Chain A
Amino acid sequence: MHWVEFLKPLSEGAWVTIQLTVYSTILGAVMAFASGIGKLSPNWFIKGASVVYIEIFRGTSLLVQLFWLYFALPIAGDALGIDLRLPPVVAGVLALGLNIGAYGAEVVRGAIQAVSRNQYEAARALNFTPRQALWRIALPQAIPEMMPSFSNLAVQNLKDTALASLISLSDLAFKAEQLRNFYQNSETIYTIILFMYFGMALVLTAMMRILESSVGRWRRARR
């Protein structure tokens, strides 16, 4: 079978991979900001919840988290009397998003704390509330700082989507396995998908770089 004929089924898998990446990255971003900011909160309940979430999802393996959500959660649900059987897509997006969100949280927290105290003093002098100071003054200055790390995390997330194939999600890695089982042509198929992942990673990196430059416009303004 000529390798070009592999491309069509693999592209279907690639499309699933892209969707997985997009959804889980969005979830990850939300969780990163929520828990990163939450970790800085004076409210000990919010802070505690954020710390627990971050420590658990950064301290355990992604595959363990994925398997737990897909295999173990339903059993916990049965014990509680609720149906917690997650379809592979939901389990996949959830595991990936929660995992990457925990790593992103540290990036968010670090960047916010890197904003100079002087800015907070100026905000206080002008009578901004602490919440206004965070959202209008600190965050806009922190976000450009976060972008390089976010770019790395996004590519990491893309790579991690391959693990979803292990719970039967029809992504690129899954499709590759199907083809390989049928045609026994390991070398060709794996080489193709390695390059496909590489290509997707390059596109993702380029997109993140564009995003990076648009949020950092004011930093490049010089006399």
Chain B
Amino acid sequence: MLFGYHWDTAHGEWAFALSILPMLLRGLLVTLEASVVGFFVAMVLGLILAVLKGARSRLVSWPATFVTEFIRDTPLLVQLFFLYYVLPDYGIVLPAFLTGALALGIQYSAYTSEVYRAGIEAVEPGQHEAAKALDIPPGRTFTHIVLPQAVPRVIPALGNYLVSIMKDVPVLSVVTVLEMLNVAKIIGDQTFDYLVPLSMVGGLYLILTLVASAFVRFVDVSLPKRGLPLR
């Protein structure tokens, strides 16, 4: 029994599949939640890293670059374990779900920071020159001129990472987060039938990534290409 539902192993494969569907869908919900939170963290952290990497002072940009590379070149699993087991030693005790989402966000912030950097650098120098000529201070130039033009440009690439994050959520199962794969594994452990639950999870993932990709494309199409309007 899981989430209050019972599985039915007595009436053949299809009845079994139908009976575990509600459980898997609950797991899917957790998957979605973890993805969204992780994505949000990645978006925010990535922007911070991107800004730090572009700083004029090497004292700031070099460590930022090193940290980004380090995060990018090390496995999510190990980063997750690190956060899960080491943070409590420092007095930070988070629920497993948040630790997992945080780990996802950190791992992907390394990628999103690259995307932001590319978008920022793609804003033509002419814009910077015009801002300078108009005597707009650098801070305001960045927030009001560069960023509103850079962000729409990078939405498709960022959106693709949302889909990637969804595919990495199952790693969180190692710290007991009850996402889809974990639910399937528990069902399998207890009924000795792994084939049905795992195959269903695979199918659900295909549907999930299809829908998510379509959503990202929709957002990309509806966003104004020449920059977010500022009133």
Residues of A participating in the B interface, judged by any CB pair closer than 8 Å: 55-56, 58-65, 67-68, 71-73, 75-76, 79, 155, 159-163, 165-166, 173, 176-177, 180, 186-187, 190-191, 193-194, 197-198, 201-202, 205
Contacts and interface: CB of A to CB of B under 8 A. Distances in A.
Contacts of B201: 64
Given A68-B198, A202-B73, A162 B78 contact: yes
A155 B210 contact: no
Given A59-B209, A59-B210, A75-B194, A68 B73 contact: no
Contacts of B202: 56, 60, 64-65, 68
A64 B170 contact: yes
B198 A67 contact: yes
A10 to B, nearest CB: 12
B162 to A, nearest CB: 14
A198 B66 CA distance: 11
Contacts of B173: 63
Interface residues of B, number: 37
B205 A173 contact: no
B171 interface: yes
Given A73-B195, A197-B74, A201-B74, 14 more contacts: A60-B167, A60-B202, A63-B181, A67-B184, A67-B185, A71-B188, A72-B199, A75-B193, A162-B78, A177-B81, A186-B81, A187-B89, A190-B81, A197-B75
Interface of B: 70, 72-79, 81-82, 85-86, 89, 166-171, 173-174, 181, 184-185, 188, 193-195, 198-199, 201-202, 205-206, 209-210
B79 to A, nearest CB: 7
Nearest to B194: A71
A205 B73 CA distance: 10
A193 B193 CA distance: 35
